[in-house]
Amino acid sequence: MNKDLLKMSNLSKEDILDILNLADQLKYEQKHGIEHHHLKGKSLGLIFEKSSTRTRVSFEVGMYQLGGYPLFLSSKDLQIGRGEPIQDTARVLSRYLDGIMIRTFSQKEVETLAESSSIPIINGLTDDEHPCQILADLMTIRENKKILEGLNVAYIGDGNNMANSLIVGFLTVGMNLSIASPTDYSPSNYYIEKGKEISKSMDVNFRVTTCPKEAVKNADVVITDVWASMGQEDESAKRIKAFQGFKVDSQLMKLAKNDAIVLHCLPAHREEEISTEVLEKHSEIIFNEAENRLHAQKAILVKLLK
């Protein structure tokens, strides 16, 4: 495994499965009151330029449960908020901390931080990728379906960071993937070409379509996300119009397999990208998915910091 987790392509299939296996073990130990202080004496800096519920709480609690010390660092409180080059911040924090998780807008900023840092850097979300969420999703799917290889997955919605990381992560572990997005909102050509490349090497199916019904047909797993991500709030009205017909509702789910599960990384905008009926029907799995951010990220931390 690489020194850093900046994007899903940093991980091989073996890396992903190793993380999932460790996450399962850590979850079992936590549920049974077994302490696992693998990172006793270690410190993790948490840099946030984007607001967060699940990312902040899961990383802080996870580091604490591993015996380490999490340190919340708002960009407003750091000198990078006043113009200090990210390279200088990286070199300073490398002398204080054992690792950094950053949640920000620019993928380039995360990669520059990693280039200038001597400690592991974890991407907690950028506009391009969301690898920690994808690992939690894979963990949740395997808990429910017992396998990953050969499953049919449909993603319905914006070709955003979630879609990008899904393409790389899900195809890498041998899942078939269909992405349905409105015209002009599909994933970038880079990720579509990356998906074609991985699907060919893994001998799995990958397609991008503008038809949600086509994508969901015979799906084992259906995934959706908000139509307007953070930083796109001023596009909300335009996007709601463009995404009409892309709601994951009971009618659409009739085309999936009878035992299909639904995932949503949250927060959800009910009656936009997902109906209240479908969300509540699959709420146990969706909120387990949110919980699994904790366990998957603890596994990432152990792999990178121990």
| 225 is a catalytic site residue | yes
Is 130 marked active-site?
A: yes
List 4, 98, 127, 133, catalytic entry: 133
Q: Which of 38, 142, 282, 293 is catalytic?
A: 293
Q: Is 183 annotated as a binding residue?
A: no
Q: How many angstroms separate the CA atoms of 172 and 9, rounded?
A: 9
Q: Was 133 annotated as part of a binding site? A: yes
Q: For residue 193, give the amino acid letter.
A: E
Task: Catalytic residue, from 38, 220, 265, 297: name it.
Answer: 265
Whether 229 has a binding-site annotation, put simply, is: yes
Q: Is residue 131 a known part of a binding site?
A: yes
Q: Is 161 flagged in the annotation as binding?
A: yes
Confirm whether residue 225 is marked as ligand binding.
yes
Sort residue 6 into left (φ over 0), alpha (ψ -120 to 50) or beta.
alpha
Active site residue 211: no
Q: What is the dihedral of CA 73, 79, 81, 82, to 10 degrees?
A: 160
Tell me: is residue 79 an annotated ligand-binding position.
yes
Task: At 275, list the tokens.
Answer: 């109906």
Q: Catalytic residue at 269?
A: no
Q: Output the CA–CA distances (angstroms, integers) from residue 160 to 103, 165, 191, 274, 305, in the order listed.
A: 15, 9, 10, 17, 29
Rounded Cα–Cα distance for residues 133 and 210 (Å): 24
267 labeled binding residue: no
Is residue 103 marked as binding? yes
Q: Binding site annotation covers 251? A: no
107 is in an annotated binding site: no
Token pair 């390279």: residue: 87
**Catalytic residue (choose from 38, 65, 98, 103):** 103
From 127, 128, 225, 297, the catalytic residue: 225
- How far apart are alpha carbons 115 and 285 in whole angstroms? 37
- Establish whether 94 is an annotated binding residue: no
| 160 is an annotated ligand-binding site residue | no
Between the alpha carbon of residue 92 and those of residues 100, 121, 161, 219, 222, the distances in Å are 12, 14, 29, 48, 43
d(CA 66, CA 71): 14
Select which of 38, 130, 142, 282 is catalytic. Answer: 130
Contact status, residue 230 vs residue 53, Cβ threshold 8 Å: no
91 has binding-site annotation: no
Residues at the binding site for carbamoyl phosphate are 52-55, 79, 103, 130-133, 265-266, 293
Residues at the binding site are 52-55, 79, 103, 130-133, 161, 225, 229-230, 265-266, 293
Residues at the binding site for L-ornithine are 161, 225, 229-230
Residues forming the active site:
103, 130, 133, 225, 265, 293
